[in-house]
Amino acid sequence: MEEMEEELKCPVCGSFYREPIILPCSHNLCQACARNILVQTPEAESPQSRRASGSAASDYDYLDLDKMSLYSEADSGYGSYGGFASAPTTPCQKSPNGVRVFPPAAPLPPPPPSALAPPPPPRSACLTCPQCHRSLGLDERGLRGFPRNRLLEAVIDRYQQGRAAALRCQLCEKAPKEAAVMCEQCDVFYCEPCRLRCHPPRGPLAKHRLVPPAQGRVSRRLSPRKISTCTDHELENHSMYCVQCKSPVCYQCLEEGKHSSHEVKALGAMWKLHKSQLSQALNGLSDRAKEAKEFLVQLRNMVQQIQENSVEFEACLVAQCDALIDALNRRKAQLLSRVNKEHEHKLKVVRDQISHCTVKLRQTTGLMEYCLEVIKENDPSGFLQISDALIRRVHLTEDQWGKGTLTPRMTTDFDLNLDNAPLLQSIHQLDFVQMKVSSPVPAPPILQLEECCTHNNSATLSWKQPPLSTVQVEGYILELDDGNGGQFREVYVGKETMCTVDGLHFNSTYSARVKAFNKTGVSPYSKTLVLQTSEVAWFSFDPSSAHADIIFSNDNLTVTCNSYDDRVVLGKTGFSKGLHYWELSIDRYDNHPDPAFGVARIDVLKDAMLGKDDKAWAITEGGITKGATVGVLLDLTRRTLTFSINEDQQGPVAFENLEGLFFPAVSLNRNVQVTLHTGLPVPEFYASRSAMQ
């Protein structure tokens, strides 16, 4: 690669190409260099005008400029250089590669304001190849009109990477160190530690020549690989293999040396044998390495799963402990309520006793004061008249303060004792159950008939687990038959409990069933549900598959186009079985366009008239006018396609031997607007013909 380094350098700047472009003369230039040597010339001095006027040939050979258009300075986006006629003569410069390059001329001084200068002539952009001196005109794209040489870019990148990469030791097991020497006989690069360990300067390796790594790389590239010679006889090449010593030997070793009595075999045969053995051993080792990689992936996945399970288990544990705390708080509230009730009861009894005792004490005090006033009476006859009654009343009052009257009816202690010992013991014994009991197989799911339905050729099914089932479910498997009572097939596997299946046949009866599964196993099937798809198809045009020029309206039932070229639009529903009929009414028909109506494959060309390739079958003429109705009848039972215009059949059968999946299709331009009508019964002319057959 060092010899071809000059071929990778730009002739203008002398450096490696940067963003090279290919000129029409097959030479290359850096894009920046091409911009620097771009020349703006007046229109009158362009290469075309010079050739047209018959002017003498200049230093530059203008060739093939009739194929290129020139563009003005305002369109180019690049600054102009002084023209050859108006600019003063400027000595040319030499690039590092010795190619002449004209520098930009100094800008002209602006004219005085008073001078009425004539308008500048139109200017054109020219580019002269620095290698072949061919003058090249630029079109309106400027330099973007020249293709970029990405292959040359890739070669330069690879070359620079290879030159910049440091030579590394070939024997380091991990992170190779920079090589210190190279052995020409071993053809191996060594770092200093590996050289001392694997290539000692004694014994048979002492005669090997060690060179610097850079010199070794050059010698490895320039000189062919040498055939290994015998270490004991330098002029002899290895030709045989000693089985006993397990080393290659030469003929002289067999005749004179220690290998004369040993068993020897052909070097090529042993080479192939050992290669085969090494390949087999490597295959086994490769299998082990592959298993180890898979095992490491499994272990890394386990690390991730352990972290996820840990977070999930911690959340579950926190939830369980929070549930216990909530239950304890609820019980605590209940017990506190009982304590409050006891507290209110005690206070009420004591307050009632205080109130009763206070009233009685007031009465007793009044009686005592009255008796003391009576005792002070000096009239014996008056005293004796009331003394007996007072004595009886005093005794009666004293009896009322009898035994128990002055005893509290309620104690201050609360006769409640919380028995928390069993609960504390249970809390102390709260622990994890190490062995998990395997969960049973899930119960069969229940199909929710009120949510199961069909639409056109699609079926939506919904199911759920039995209400009383507590078994964990990991997913469900939905199965459908083929619509003809055939075998069931899986159409959905996942965790969702609702699924819509598209692409079924019209006017067909399907059977559906579902089952659940977890790590333990699979549940029995649910009850079988029978579904009937629509007899006729209701559909509209499909914006997602139509050409970008198609314009939709009327809920995608009416289409037109904003282009004068024919564009294709398909229906949303495809047909592969059954009898289907739809109509298209012509809403606008100007300037005798050529709309086409029929069926097509999903990958039909969208920017050409329907029927131009082998993926569409259509009618393009035959009495189509404004207000006409085109009928399309696709009979996939008989594999035929029939057309009608205003309910008049156009010929017996238009196309036969149709097989596969077909979509309703229309091609039109801006002079046509059509509206689609679907869900129609089969026309009478075809129904009567089918009955006769």
Please, which residues bridge with residue 493 across strands?
477
CA quadruple 229, 231, 235, 236: dihedral positive or negative? negative
CA angle 489, 495, 500 (to 5 degrees): 55
pLDDT for the residue numbered 373? 87
Return the pLDDT at 124: 66
Structure tokens at 259: 């290998």
Instruction: Report DSSP state, residue 539.
Output: -
CA separation, residue 607 to residues 440, 478, 549, 642, 666 (Å): 60, 41, 9, 25, 12
Spatial distance between the Cα atoms of 630 and 642, rounded to a whole number of angstroms: 11
Q: 225-239: per-residue pLDDT in tens?
A: 555 677 777 667 777
**Contact between residue 83 and residue 40 where contact means Cβ atoms under 8 Å apart:** yes
DSSP per residue, 367-397:
HHHHHHHHHT---HHHHHHHHHHHHHHHHHH
User: What is the Cα–Cα distance from 177 to 337, expressed in whole angstroms?
Assistant: 80
Whether 426 and 444 have beta carbons less than 8 Å apart is answered as no
Of 573, 599, 581, the closest CA to residue 505 belongs to: 573
Name which of 571, 566, 565, 564 is nearest 544 in CA terms: 571
pLDDT of residue 514: 95
Q: Write down how long the chain is.
A: 693
One-letter amino acid for residue 549 of the chain: D
Integer Cα distance of 200 and 194 in angstroms = 9
Does residue 560 sit in helix, strand or coil? strand
Strand 672-677, strand 558-561: pairing: antiparallel
Outline where 87-206 has alpha helix (H): 150-164, 192-198
Burial readout 422-432 (b: 16 or more C-beta within 10 A, e: otherwise)? eeeeeeeeeee
Burial class of 588 by CB neighbour count within 10 A (0 to 12, 13 to 18, 19+) = middle
Retrieve residue 482's tokens.
Answer: 């083929």
Pairing of strands 134-137, 663-668: unpaired
Label each residue of 558-614 as H, E or C: EEEECCCCCEEEEECCCECCCEEEEEEEEEEECCCCCCEEEEECCCCCCCCCCCCCC
Could you tell me which residues come within 8 angstroms of residue 130 by beta carbon, excluding any fewer than 6 positions away?
Answer: 11, 12, 27, 29, 37, 95, 99, 100, 101
The neighbour count for residue 33, using CB atoms within 10 Å, is 24
> Going by C-beta distance under 8 Å and a sequence separation of 6 or more, which residues neighbour residue 73?
40, 80, 123, 125
What's residue 37's pLDDT?
Answer: 84
Q: Which helix (H) or strand (E) holds 97?
A: none
R_g (Cα) of the chain, nearest Å = 53
**How would DSSP label each residue in 388-456?**
HHHHHHHHHHHHHT-TTTTS-SS-SS-------HHHHHHHHT-----SPPPPPPPPPPEE-GGG-EEET
Q: Three-class SS of residue 210?
A: strand
* Alpha-helical regions (H) of 148-266: 150-164, 192-198, 213-222, 251-256
pTM of the model: 0.36
Check: CB of residue 269 under 8 Å from CB of residue 276.
Answer: no
Residues of the chain with pLDDT under 50: 44-108, 113-118, 121, 435-437
Given this model, what pLDDT does residue 2 score?
A: 55
Using N-to-C axis directions, what is the helix angle for 380-400 and 267-375, rounded to 10°? 160
- H helix intervals, 20-76: 31-36, 47-53, 73-76
Count Cβ atoms below 10 Å from residue 646 Cβ, excluding itself: 12
Residue 186 near residue 207, CB atoms below 8 Å: no
Strand (E) positions, 638-685?
A: 640-645, 648-649, 663-668, 672-677
Greatest C-alpha distance within the chain: 179
Amino acid at 451: E
CA-based nearest residue to 38, from 144, 121, 136: 136
| DSSP single-letter state for residue 227 | P
Three-state DSSP at 594 gives coil
Is 586 within 8 Å of 627 (Cβ atoms)? yes
